[in-house]
Amino acid sequence: MRISAAITSETDADKIVSELCGQARAHLGAAKVDLALLFVSPRFVGALPDLIEDIHLHLGARCLVGCTGAGIIGEDREVERAPAVSLWAASMPGVTVQPFRITQHQVEESNGPAFWHSELGIGPEDEPSLIFLPDPFSIDATRAVEELGAAYPGRPLVGGLASGGRQAGENRVWINEKVFEDGAIGVALCGAVRLRAIVSQGCRPIGEPLIVTKAQRNVIVELANQPPVVALQETLRALSEQDRQLAQQALFVGRVINEYQSEFHRGDFLIRNIVGLDPNNGAIAIGDREIRPGQTIQFQLRDGATANEDMREMIEKQEASLAKHPPGGALIFSCLGRGENLFGKPNHDVNLIREKIGPLPLAGFFCNGEIGPVGDKVFVHGFTSVIALFEPVDKEN
C-alpha cells in the first residue's frame, strides 16, 4: 500500500491540478490510484465540476470522493481562514473500493440492516471499513450513522460532515465527477487494509460519576435522586476558581458508554453539549437523542490545554500497537471549533500527529460534526478530532 497527500493554497484551477497531481505522482510513481479523497474550500464551489474532472483525469483514480470544508487540512498545515485544496491518494493492492451515495429518503425508508446490505451492495461478510461524508443540512447524519453502525456492527466507520455552507444547497459532496448538493457519500474498503480510528473528544471529567434516576427523552430530570442542577452546583463548588470560570463557557456532559466498567476515564464517555436548564425543576437537557434511567454521566470541562492532553493520551494508548502495525497514511476529521480558535496557535492537530505518530501522508478538513467510534459504537461528535489510520494487512497471515 502506497499513499500520498498534498495541499495547496493556489487559487488558479490549473495550478491547483498541476500541483496536487504532480506531488501525488511524484510519490506514487506509476502505481494505480485506487482511492483518492479531495477536500475543497467553499470558494471553489462554482469551479468544482471542472476541477474534479481535471484531477480525476490527471490522477487516473479509480475512485475519487470528497466534500467541501470551511477549513482544509494537509500533512504539514491546517488552512482555516483562506482557500485551500487537499488531496489524498492511495494505491491499495488487494483492496476493493466501493463508493456509495445515501439520501434522506433512504434513511427514512430504512427498515433494518438488510436494507443497507441491499442498497449498498455490501454484506457484513465483506467486513468493510467505511468512510462517510454527509451534508448536515439535507440528511439526518446522526440517524444515518446509527443505521450504518447497525448494518455493519464492529466495523470501522469514520468521517465528517461537510462544512463551509450555512444552509441547504451550499455544501457539496461528490463521487468521481458527479457532484451533489444533498445527501451523503461514502466509500467501503474491503480486503487487505485495516482502518484504525483514534477519537479525541478533548474533555476531562470533573466531580464524580452520577446515576440518572429519572429522564425524559434528552432531558435529565433527576440525577442521583436529586435535581441535576443541584448535583451540578455541588460539582462546581469543589472545583478551583479557574475551573469554575472555565465551566461558564466550556461545560459538557459525558455519558458512559460501557456501564460494566468499575471505573471511568477519558475515552469512556460520549461527550454531549448542555443545551438547556429548567429553573423550575432543575432539569438539564443535553444534545443527545435519548438518555435513560440507570445510565451514568459525569460532567466534563474542555479547553485548549485539556484538548491537547486528551489527544496525546488517546494516541499514546495506541503506541504499542502502532509500532507493531505502522500506518501508511491518515485522514483527519476535526471540528470547526478546534484549530487556532481553541489552541491559540495554528496547526495543532497536524503537528501533534507528526510528533506522536510520524510525518504520515495526511489530509482532511474542519467539519460540522465528526464521525468515529467510542467503545464499540459509532457516533456523530462535536469539538472532536477523529484520526483514521490506514494499515496494510497481509491476508495470508
Q: What are the grid coordinates assigned to 214, written together?
A: 429519572
Q: What are the grid coordinates assigned to 114, written together?
A: 438488510
In this structure, the answer to whether residues 373 and 265 fall within a common structural domain is no
Q: How far is residue 144's CA from residue 320's CA, in Å, rounded to a whole number?
A: 33
In this structure, the answer to whether residues 109 and 164 fall within a common structural domain is yes
In this structure, the answer to whether residues 25 and 39 fall within a common structural domain is yes
* pLDDT value for 397: 44
Q: How far is residue 348's CA from residue 230's CA, in Å, rounded to a whole number?
A: 37
Within a domain: 295: yes
The CATH number of the domain where 234 resides is what?
Answer: 2.40.30
Cell 491518515 maps to which residue? 330
In this structure, the answer to whether residues 236 and 285 fall within a common structural domain is yes
Residue 354 burial (C-beta neighbours within 10 Å; 0-12, 13-18, 19+):
middle
Within a domain: 154: yes
Q: Strands across the sheet with 157-160, in order?
A: 95-102, 184-191, 129-134, 157-160, 370-374, 377-381
Residue at which a domain ends, from 286, 301, 316: 301
Domain count for the chain:
2
In this structure, the answer to whether residues 63 and 187 fall within a common structural domain is yes
Q: How far is residue 109's CA from residue 41's CA, in Å, rounded to a whole number?
A: 32
Within a domain: 397: no
In this structure, the answer to whether residues 14 and 151 fall within a common structural domain is yes
Q: What's the average pLDDT block by block, 10 residues per block, for the chain (397 residues)? A: 97 96 94 97 96 96 98 96 97 97 98 97 97 98 97 97 96 97 98 96 94 96 96 95 94 92 86 93 93 95 95 94 94 96 96 96 98 94 96 73
In this structure, the answer to whether residues 122 and 94 fall within a common structural domain is yes
In this structure, the answer to whether residues 293 and 338 fall within a common structural domain is no
Q: How far is residue 58's CA from residue 178's CA, in Å, rounded to a whole number?
A: 17
Distances (CA, A) of 334 to 220, 236, 378, 388: 29, 29, 16, 11
How does DSSP assign 56-113, residue by residue?
A: HHHHT-S-EEEEE-SEEE-SS-EE-SS--EEEEEEE-TTEEEEEEEE-HHHHHH--SH
In this structure, the answer to whether residues 313 and 372 fall within a common structural domain is yes
* pLDDT value for 396: 52
CA 127, 332, 194: angle at the middle one, nearest 5? 25
In this structure, the answer to whether residues 373 and 386 fall within a common structural domain is yes
Residue at which a domain ends, from 268, 301, 334: 301
How does DSSP assign 195-221, residue by residue?
A: EEEEEE---EE-S--EEEEEEETTEEE
In this structure, the answer to whether residues 192 and 213 fall within a common structural domain is no
Domain that holds residue 282: 204-301
Q: Tell me if 199 sits within 8 A of 374, measured CB to CB.
A: yes
In this structure, the answer to whether residues 262 and 194 fall within a common structural domain is no
Residue 312 burial (C-beta neighbours within 10 Å; 0-12, 13-18, 19+):
middle
Q: What are the grid coordinates assigned to 372, written together?
A: 468515529
Residue at which a domain ends, from 238, 271, 301: 301
